[in-house]
Chain A
């Protein structure tokens, strides 16, 4: 095992980059872009290194870096990842450089005089904090990153957002998250008091709590995560934030940041409060199930591309939710794989929508129509993103959705059957969206917009090609990722939660 401090560097390098960028003069926009690209590529190379250094099937937690912080409180800088966290860190490492490239012209295109270096500084800061959230294994450290990452996203939406309601959306995003965070803070303090004056995750997993203490602390964490994920009925901030944020930032928001919620449920709610998790599982599944159908129906009814994609994500988070709370290996691994695949697929969808919106100057579906004739390649990529979003076999989301539903069915048929209706609704919202924007008679207004006649540029192609490649590769061969995820999920369910998979009915009979 190398003792190379991958995780420490992965957290600090982006933050350092953000700091450097913050000192760039406003006029140095071009340089800032190039700097951000190179810097994030270095970070990406580091994530690749971390992925290779991680032994699938080895210890549950690996790549540990540990430094003292506030010894009086027992707080430490402890970073380590299990398979679940590793996958999310890798997703961040991959996505952020692509988002930097996708943002190349976004900032200038905005009205007013907004600083380009600051935009990229915020992106890098966000990257460092998000990696920190996934890599932390000290509860207070996790909480700090969890709250801190709100700040750069708040400014990305509020200062670089694309329409008049961006301030409203930013404030709403911030308040929702803050409220959730307060609940969590209370639970974190409770943990410290009841768990033996420590924030160390490993010690706290062993701690015993009274039934009621466990349930209250579970709720504190769960509310924060359910807002972040978001689950119904805490979801209404997402469509506003998703439509107001610049498309690349929105992609980062739904593709990665929201996954902190579902990741947190797995790592903190389930492992620290196993009994409460079992107690509240039916409620959590119910909320997630409502989200699947509700989010999909609302997506069908949207007239704004970015809001539509946001609502599809709410439906997808519902799938992740039922997958986590079904407590079977297939559903759990499926849910984690779903977190990755949703990041790839919806990330791609948001980025492509961003390309479209940038050309048309509007996200309203009415302003498109028949655009496939004008921009065939862009429309093809849009279609692929849509197919990934409806989990077509051959694209990676199929594998995760299938695993989730199969795993849920083994323990709760009704839920699985209702959730399966979601795949029909997914076809409806994707195909209808595609029909209204790309197919049919050409909207004459599009002919007036010169940008709508430019097909995918090389820069844009460079953004989407890696994502499409990965979506197709993992659609056919998900095993490398499953091998990393499976042990972590199994450990969470069997060691922390103490549940095992039901045996097939026909064997159980014998």
Chain B
């Protein structure tokens, strides 16, 4: 039942042989990005080729390292300390890397799916004058993501973490002359920074409590901490994870991230960025498993977010936004998995890998549809496209079947076990979370069917002048490969990857809970069939071309359940007024007071005297305000 992880000490073996060069993994894409930036327009002709080559090379290298790691007997890990990064007093932070079973599968996912997305982007961005810049950002993204998963301490993780935030900002606001794109990028960065602040404080807490931010020291030290400390540390890490993975309450940036070119959505939403939060929790499993309350919070956030994603996904008409909310929802399943702990850690990771295939495939498929439909994104304006883009249709269809979890495609092998594990959580909460996960499966089947039917089937509802066509091979070949992954990965991974991850995530006995495996599978298949049937029946004849009046639930869902409105009212608006008030006070008040004093002390400079006449009341006000600020800060200081 319980995790054996923290009874046995975590120990990493020093890298030897080929494995001591794992730094190449992030150095290659980083170097490629640097070349693309520095050469500027001179690299426009061939920049995209370099970009693709660097990621493909990294993938090949990743495979080599993977097999090296597999060949190790005993402790399968390779740790390299490149140089001393921040040595101050008792703080020792190295620029250190770690390749172990967990980081190895992430490396393969990031570089493998990343390579396919890069290749696809060569075709997708062919006519964009900023293609070289695009590939520079893409490479930077891959480099940051690889550093994130390869670090051997939390500072390295954070380094890559914020690097990913930067690259996503650059990519989301790639069309920066479009105000909505610029705003979406800023929103993503800011909401991520809120999470990052939590993550940063978690590291300060680690250092204050354990004197180290290295994985092994922290994981081995967890049992010396009080339950309260573990809870706080975990919640802070969770805040960071929610920011990066677009989980409640920091989910609002993720759908807006669709402002970037479509390959960006595939990269951010499938293979990389949003999975970082899941990685953080899985990596810190020693912390999260050590406190039951903490696990309940993670599970609750996962369950809540998966439903939020489903509900909004049902109401959206923009093909990319439906997929975006579907990502929010699928990551919710992964959070549910890592929150349940025990054997479910590994389930979350295999769902993450399978999701990497089918979601990347569908995003790129959506891009292929847009490519053939003059960048139309409104699913009400598609219909009957199966005839015109057969490869896109079939590959998207396979991704669709995979995500709703029909056997024998990947989602069936990866999502169902999470639902089962949720039901088998002890106590009444098992019913609650299992029920939420089950409901989510039905809703997923419904909205994905709606998306699929409205796009590829039913009557044509195109705008004038559309001549849909299949995309070139450079785009369809990645689609085919990703579809193969969507089909096969679940079956292939369901036991092998779980075993592979055991050294990191712990060995767990087969659990026998309240519901049997076949019962849950039967229930899931039933709700999925229900959702699927409802979707087909409602939308096989198309849909209205304009937004129809709707009840409060649908209206709320169309408005993203008012998350943006909430943020605006609670943070943005008060912030704006506070800032304005402070600017006023600073110019008139505090400045005035000190000017007055300065004038007196300085012997009465006429100029300053003149400047300060007539604002006596605002001086008084701001003196009061300033004094209050200092007193409040003093109280904060004495809190310790």
Contacts and interface: CB of A to CB of B under 8 A. Distances in A.
Contacts of A285: 633, 637
10 contacts: A236-B595, A283-B634, A287-B630, A393-B158, A394-B162, A410-B208, A420-B197, A420-B200, A479-B85, A505-B209
Interface string A387-404: 100001110001100110
A341 interface: no
A490 B597 CA distance: 38
Interface string A403-425: 10111011111111110110110
A440 B636 contact: no
Given A411-B640, A501-B90, 17 more contacts: A171-B605, A175-B598, A179-B602, A297-B582, A300-B579, A330-B88, A393-B163, A406-B91, A409-B207, A414-B637, A424-B194, A432-B186, A477-B83, A478-B86, A504-B208, A505-B229, A506-B224
B633 A287 contact: yes
Contact of A301 (B190, B221, B579): B579
Contacts of A370: 177
Given A233-B626, A501-B89, A506-B224, A423 B193 contact: yes
Given A282-B637, A403-B86, A410-B207, A168 B607 contact: yes
Given A283-B634, A301-B579, A478-B85, A427 B209 contact: no
Given A236-B586, A330-B91, A435-B183, A176 B598 contact: yes
Interface string A161-190: 000000110011001101100100000000
Q: Which of A175, A179, A418 has the most C-beta atoms of chain B within 10 angstroms of its own C-beta?
A: A175
B639 interface: yes
Interface size class of B (residues with CB under 8 A): 35 or more
Contact of A427 (B163, B189, B208): B189
A-B complex: 5 closest residue pairs judged by Cβ atoms: A329-B89, A504-B211, A409-B204, A286-B633, A439-B182
Interface of B: 37, 40, 83-91, 95, 155, 158-159, 162-163, 166, 169, 173, 176-179, 182-183, 185-186, 189-190, 193-194, 196-197, 200-201, 203-205, 207-212, 221, 224-225, 229, 575, 578-580, 582-583, 586, 590-591, 594-595, 597-599, 601-602, 605, 607-608, 611, 626, 629-630, 633-634, 636-640
Given A179-B598, A424-B190, A427-B190, A435 B636 contact: no
A428 B207 CA distance: 28
A297 B200 contact: no
A435 B580 contact: no
Contacts of A333: 88-89
A424 B640 CA distance: 22
B204 A282 contact: no
Contacts of B225: 506
Given A370-B177, A399-B86, A506-B224, A406 B163 contact: no
A387 B170 CA distance: 12
A420 B201 contact: yes
A168 B611 contact: yes
A452 to B, nearest CB: 15
A507 interface: yes
B594 A504 contact: no
B582 A294 contact: yes
Interface residues of A, number: 86
Interface SS of A by simple majority: helix
A377 B247 CA distance: 36
Contact of A504 (B84, B88, B207, B636): B207
A506 B210 contact: yes
A486 B169 CA distance: 35
Interface in A477-507: 477-479, 482, 486, 490, 501-507
Contacts of A427: 189-190, 193
Contact of B200 (A232, A392, A399, A402): A402
Nearest to B165: A392
A435 B186 contact: yes
A298 interface: yes
Contacts of A3: none
A233 B608 contact: no
A279 interface: no
Contacts of A287: 630, 633
Contacts of B590: 233, 236
A236 B594 contact: yes
Q: Which of A168, A289, A428, A431 has the most C-beta atoms of chain B within 10 angstroms of its own C-beta?
A: A431
A486 B185 CA distance: 38
A441 interface: yes
B176 A372 contact: yes
Contacts of A168: 607, 611
A372 B177 contact: yes
